[in-house]
Amino acid sequence: MAAVSSGEASGARVKLIYEFRSAASLAWDSIRSHKLRSFLTLLGVIIGVASVILVGSAIDGMGTYAEESTAKAFGSESFLIAQVASVGNMTRKQFFEKLKYNRQIKLEDDRFLQAANGATTLYSPYRQSQSDTRRDNLTSEETSVLGVSADMVDIRDIGVVEGRFFTDTEERNAAFVAVIGDDLKTTLFPDGGSPLGRTFKIQNLDFMVVGVQERLGSSFGRSQDNSTYIPISAFNRLFGPGASISIFGRPRKTSGMNMQQALDVTRIALRDKYHQRPGETDRFDFLTPDAIRGFIDSLLALVAAVVVPVTMISLVVGGIVIMNIMLVSVTERTREIGIRKSLGAKRADIMWQILIESVIMASAGGAIGVGIGAALTTVLTAVFGVTLRVTPFYVFLSVFVSGAVGVASGWYPASKASKLDPIVALRSE
């Protein structure tokens, strides 16, 4: 009995495979006999899938670009202490509540942290201002002037490709020295020679170039290379002491601590300095690369949730086109269907033929769309230098949806064809 059952199951499998191959062969012959119509039918699916691939590549590329930009501008293992630190997810009310409750961060707080945790953690005060910089008759507008300590070069992994970063001695003496960005070098020293040892003006005061920072590119549409680092002491002489500063921190490589541990000991030290009781909210704010990346990821997820479904509307349109063409195909083959049914073809056989034809068309359109989307992604990346990356998720999503569109679009025409009366079908012209 078991052998009979096994034989019946094997025979059923062979029959199913044969029926599938026959239906696929008939469907493929039908597509080949109407090449132009089939291509125009696929066009909607092709455009829809290519659009999803491009949008997905852009969203994923934006995430990669934002992560790289954050690492360059913020540092991979550094954290920021400030009166208010935000990455854009704070309401106006929350901002002013923090501004009112939190303490202003001063240079004395930086010196306190240096004394308390300097053996394990690197700290640097940080201030920023915009100012036109000049050399002779050349001007670089709205240069970012960054006042920091000599340790900032290690805290934010600042790459110096020419010269050096300024020293602790130069910082203590408020020396007018600067490390400039690549855009500033190109604008103020266009002769192509080394800018080291040459001067330019900030606020009409001469600063000597001691180093050139590696090129960073732009971040969210703003150049990171039109900038200059100067000692915080020189910055305060130019722009005044200011109301509040920020402090960057990072664990020393020799301490064996990670970023979170360094942040924790920093928070403990500041809470102790401000005489805060256990359970009280910190009277300062802090920011980490993980917080920035988390905000960016949530923003990109929101964009994907809105944009991707809108892009897939073209796939729905393509599905409607496929359904219409399949209905036309059923009408054209009414007599053929009548002959097949009169010769013993079952409803399932007719449905298989029509449904497989619809799925083949939609899947072929999906495959072509994936290829076109990937090719366009490669071309745009090479030509415009944008960050685009094709990801398996969006490829799978596009192919899956295009296949589902094929099934949904072919089901009604297949059902209608399978229900045709063979006698009525044979009489049709």
Task: Using 70 as the pLDDT threshold, list the residues of the chain that sit under it.
Answer: 1-9, 11-12, 15-16, 19-20, 22-24, 26-27, 68-73, 87-90, 218-221, 385-386, 422-429
Predicted local confidence at residue 128, as pLDDT: 93
Q: Is residue 80 part of a domain?
A: no
Are residues 115 and 57 part of one domain? no
For residues 393 and 246, state if they share a domain. Answer: no
In a domain, 72, yes or no: no
Q: Report how far residue 113's alpha carbon sits from residue 274's, in angstroms, rounded to the nearest whole number.
A: 12
Domain membership of residue 15 (yes or no) is no
93 inside domain: no
Domain co-membership, 304 together with 276: no
Using CA atoms, how far apart are residues 216 and 183, in angstroms rounded to an integer? Answer: 10
Tokens at 299, concatenated:
């923003």
Evaluate whether residue 319 is within a structural domain: yes
Asked if 128 and 264 sit in the same domain, the reply is yes
Same domain, 356 and 392: yes
Task: Provide φ and ψ at 394, rounded to 5°.
Answer: -75, -30
401 near 311, Cβ under 8 Å? no
The reply to whether 159 and 245 lie within a common domain is yes
Examine residue 295 and state whether it is found in any structural domain, yes or no: no
Domain count, the chain: 2
Look at residues 283, 317, 333 and tell me which one is the last residue of a structural domain.
283
* Same structural domain, 253 and 218: yes
Query: Which of 219, 254, 283 lies at the terminal end of a domain, its last residue?
Result: 283
385: left (phi over 0), alpha (psi -120 to 50) or beta: left
* Cβ neighbours of 21 (radius 10 Å): 11
Distance CA(325)–CA(333), nearest Å, equals 12
pLDDT score, position 1: 47
Q: Are residues 188 and 41 in the same domain?
A: no
Q: What pLDDT is recorded for position 295?
A: 74
SS3 265: helix
Claim to verify: residue 42 and residue 132 sit in the same structural domain: no
User: Considering the domain boundaries, does residue 49 fall inside one?
Assistant: yes
> Is 90 a member of any domain?
no
Q: Left if phi > 0, otherwise alpha if psi is -120 to 50, otherwise beta: which for 242?
A: left
The CA-CA-CA angle for residues 398, 399, 400, to 5°, reads 95
Residues 270, 316 within the same domain: no
- Residues linked to residue 386 through DSSP beta bridges, in sequence order: none
pLDDT reported for residue 425: 58
230 and 129 in a single domain? The answer is yes
240: its two tokens: 């005044």
Q: Residues 217, 314: one domain?
A: no
Last residue of one domain, picked from the residues 222, 256, 283: 283
Domain carrying residue 278: 103-283
* DSSP element (H, E) containing 96: helix 92-101
